[in-house]
Amino acid sequence: MSTLAPLVLPPKPRGRWKPWLGLAVVLLITAVTLSPQWGIAFSFEAIVKNWQNGADKVLALLQPDWSFFPRTIPPLVETLQMAVIATFVGAVVSLPLSLWAARLTNPNRYTRGLLKTVLNAVRSIPDLLYASVLVAMVGVGALPGIIALVLFNVGIIVKMVSESIEVNDAGPLEAGRAAGGTQLQINRAIALTDAWPAFVNQTLYVLELNVRASTVLGLVGAGGLGLLIDAVRTFYRYDQLSLIILEILVVVVVIDTVSASIRKRLV
């Protein structure tokens, strides 16, 4: 009884090398990207060299120039105007497109696929790139900024809302079909009411994103606080930049808080 028979271990599962292979690949890519030859040449020397002339400017970030405050108000207001208008237009455009992009509300695979492909492409270009191209097209001001934000918003809202429609119960829609409704009628009478909370939720979320994004669109001439950021950075007025960053922080936090409290009440 007490003689221990050698334990028969089951064979070790294969595939345990996979995480290690993943790690090796990540390290290899990181080494390449950091190398001076192919990569971005990470070097502490450059930083040390720049430190001498740059440090005092960075330190200026800690001393906001409060006297600059009045001049920041009009661009700040324009930033908020752009965010609100873009959110509104984006939401209005997105609502029908969301129903178009979801399988339950648009059974036609081809039109759905077409819309999704277009939106994937639209989503892969960041808002600031849109803005910089649009400024060259329609001129400096809030308008190109708003158009850039709308493109950005439609991409997000339609994706999120159509995904939330997909997980909704198909039964009520079937009832509408059984009662002889057209797809459009069913979407309006049944799918829309069930998708509404997701839609409002995403719209508020996009408003938060827009407030954040619209503060920098001016860097390429698309209106708002960014115009001012571009001006102060040209003269390395980091004390003024510091004030602008503080204002962005306050506005973003306020909008996020309000939006979050509304979203929480939404059921």
Residue list 166-185, contact with another protein (CB under 8 A): 169, 171-172, 174-182, 184-185
Stretch that binds another protein, among 1-9, 100-108, 154-162, 187-195 (CB under 8 A): 187-195
CB of residue 127 to another protein, shortest distance in Å: 8
Side-chain-side CA neighbours of residue 128 (13 Å): 10
CB of residue 6 to another protein, shortest distance in Å: 27
Which residues, 91 to 110, sit near another protein by CB under 8 A?
none
Total site size for another protein, rule CB under 8 A: 85
CA distance 176 to 57: 65
Applying CB under 8 A, which of residues 26, 28, 73, 260 lies at the interface with another protein? Answer: 26
Which residues, 50 to 89, sit near another protein by CB under 8 A?
50-51, 53-55, 57-58, 61, 77-78, 80-82, 84-85, 88
Which residues, 142 to 161, sit near another protein by CB under 8 A?
142-143, 146
CB of residue 158 to another protein, shortest distance in Å: 16
Which residues, 6 to 25, sit near another protein by CB under 8 A?
none
CB of residue 5 to another protein, shortest distance in Å: 28
- In this structure, are residues 228 and 190 in contact, taking their beta carbons and an 8 Å threshold? no
CB of residue 8 to another protein, shortest distance in Å: 23
The number of residues in the chain equals 267
SS3 244: helix
Report the residue number, 66 or 74, with the smaller CB distance to another protein.
74
Applying CB under 8 A, which of residues 216, 222, 228, 243 lies at the interface with another protein? Answer: 216
Could you give the angle at the alpha carbon of 53 between the alpha carbons of 52 and 55, nearest 5°?
Answer: 70
- In this structure, are residues 147 and 130 in contact, taking their beta carbons and an 8 Å threshold? yes
* Helix, strand, coil abundance in the chain, percent, nearest 5: 75, 0, 25
CB atoms within 10 A of CB 102: 24
Alpha helices in 102-191 (DSSP H): 109-123, 127-138, 142-166, 171-178, 183-186
Amino acid identity at 199: F
Q: Which element (helix H / strand E) includes 155?
A: helix 142-166
CB of residue 2 to another protein, shortest distance in Å: 28
